[in-house]
Copies of this chain bind each other. A is one copy, B any other.
Amino acid sequence: MARILGIDPGSRVTGYGIIDDGAGGPVLLAWGCIRMDMDHFPDRLKRIFDGIQQVVAEHGPEELAVEQVFMHRNADSALKLGQARGAAICAALTADLPVYEYSAKQVKQALVGNGNADKAQVAHMVKFLLKNQSHMELDASDALGVALCHAHHQQTARRMARMQAAAR
């Protein structure tokens, strides 16, 4: 079993979610959003860094899953997003969490079975898989989506290892 932290970093809001990935399927532990409303950009980085460190200290995840961003609509927002992402990942790295990155396509494929699924379908599957129908902001459900994608990949890897061991 592994406890997984998923994050969806943004320059104004960073979503996070924590699941336990066990034999009985994934279990939802916590989710939320870190809001960075301040004007001074370094203050926002500090908020996200402290916020993720706090989530890690509180829930003790063992692995970090984060969506890989390949391209972005414009360079200025990519730079801001990058800084937020760097701050969030560093906060997890200070607790020695290994970092796993997945593309949006991989997340959609793992959750919906279709790499071109839309955000609403992903959010729907997140709630379905985690048996949670309460209101959840998109940033938080996206964070849980990448955590579930990681859980799915790890389960597949373990199954493959068992099959290979049995075939020997």
Hey, which bits of chain A sit against chain B, CB under 8 A?
41-42, 45-46, 49, 69-76, 78-87, 89-91, 93-94, 99, 101
Contact = CB atoms under 8 A, between A and B. Distances in A.
Q: Kindly list the 9 A-B residue pairs having the minimum CB-CB distance in the complex, ordered from nearest.
A: A82-B82, A86-B86, A83-B86, A42-B99, A75-B78, A78-B78, A79-B82, A72-B75, A78-B79
Contacts of A91: 90
Contact of A93 (B42, B76, B93, B99): B42
Contact of A76 (B71, B85, B87): B71
Contact of A41 (B72, B94, B101): B101
A160 to B, nearest CB: 22
Contacts of A82: 78-86
B90 A79 contact: no
A164 to B, nearest CB: 25
A93 B90 CA distance: 12
Contacts of A45: 86, 89-90, 93
Nearest to A83: B86
A83 B71 CA distance: 14
Contacts of A41: 101
